[in-house]
Amino acid sequence: MSRALALLLSSLMLVSGCTSLQRLSHGFSDRAPEPLAFNYPDGGSSIYYDFSLGPQAQPETVVFFYGGSGCPSWKYVMPDYVRGFALPARVFVLNKRFVSDRSTGLFGCERGFHASNHPAQWAADYSAFISARLESLEWQPRHVVLVGVSEGALPAARVARTHPRVTHLALIGAAGYSMRRSLAVLKDKGAIGFDVAAGAAEIATAPRSLDKAWYGHPYRWWSEVLDLDITEDLLALDKPVLLGIGEADQSVPVESARFLAEKFDAAGKRHLSLKIYPGADHRLNAPDRAYRDEFFATLAHWLRQAPAVPARSAAAEAHARP
């Protein structure tokens, strides 16, 4: 298997915790959601999915997901991805632009995808989608929750900060380091073998290129995300944030979550609730158990207690074993 294909296969498995065959089988089953089309103000469009959890026609909770890294469709994991969320809710899931209903991402992403795959576009699209879907509802939900998974934490944090209707933010596999710093820490820990500094220097020679790639992504993507971190957006929020990360995450180091918790405490902020799952990876899977359902169960419990903000300091939680 080529390195590029291996990376794409890894990205397919990233959000689901399933094998690729399980994902593909689910995508063609009756449980997979039907595609809908959302048209952006600039004439572009995306596929999205809309389903309900529980029997309530007008639940008080609405949850929004946005695409993570690469171009696989959310179709292959929804609605099972949120089976731990034991609360009536309406769920909206937005694919990125140029990600078709049945896109697996296994064979690469089209050029149009790469051209629109950058943080400013993510945030603009996610915000427009949220506003339009909320406007279409016949009731006013009490909770509007954004869920950001891995790369999806970047637009989720930004939109949570700027969108007045958002009440809660939940993040998986994301924290308070830039990608550059995260990769450097992972290299020091032996989790990755490539030379981060050399790669960054090469990317800087053609930062807008869609044709040159490094580890599965065009230089343009790397140049846009390498030095971003979500700390400022999270600290600026006045709404609760739930963050779940695996103790053995080899994509985002757990040290970055502890760093974020310390930043919150230093700023006197108490709206971050940090859950570190022992032995778990980037998908919240540990050798002996999967924690994603537990994360969403925690989120559901958390919403039942709303509007309370976590009273325990995030740093205290960060250094406690669950």
Q: Can you give the pLDDT at residue 318?
A: 57
Q: Does pTM surpass 0.85?
A: yes
Q: Can you give the pLDDT at residue 9?
A: 39
Q: Can you give the pLDDT at residue 109?
A: 95
SS3 state at 225? helix
Q: Can you give the pLDDT at residue 27?
A: 54
Q: Report DSSP letters for 140-180, one per residue.
A: --SEEEEEEEGGGHHHHHHHHHH-TT--EEEEES--SS-HH
Q: Could you report the per-residue pLDDT of 32-74, keeping only the tens digit for each?
A: 999 999 999 999 999 999 999 999 999 999 999 997 899 999 9
37: left (phi over 0), alpha (psi -120 to 50) or beta: beta
DSSP H stretches of helix in 70-207 = 111-116, 119-136, 153-162, 179-188, 196-203
Neighbours of 208 (CB within 10 A): 10
Q: Can you give the pLDDT at residue 312?
A: 47
Neighbours of 219 (CB within 10 A): 21
Rounded Cα distance, 254 and 44, in Å? 37
Q: Can you give the pLDDT at residue 185?
A: 95
Per-residue pLDDT tens listing for the chain (322 residues): 344 334 433 444 444 445 555 655 565 567 899 999 999 999 999 999 999 999 999 999 999 999 789 999 999 999 999 999 999 999 999 999 999 999 999 888 999 999 999 999 999 999 999 999 999 999 999 999 999 999 999 999 999 999 999 999 999 999 999 999 999 999 999 999 989 999 999 999 999 999 999 999 999 999 999 999 999 999 999 999 999 999 999 999 999 999 999 999 999 999 999 999 999 999 999 999 999 999 999 999 999 987 644 444 555 455 544 4
Rounded Cα distance, 274 and 271, in Å? 10
Domains and CATH numbers, the chain: 3-318 (3.40.50.1820)
DSSP bridge partners of 254? none
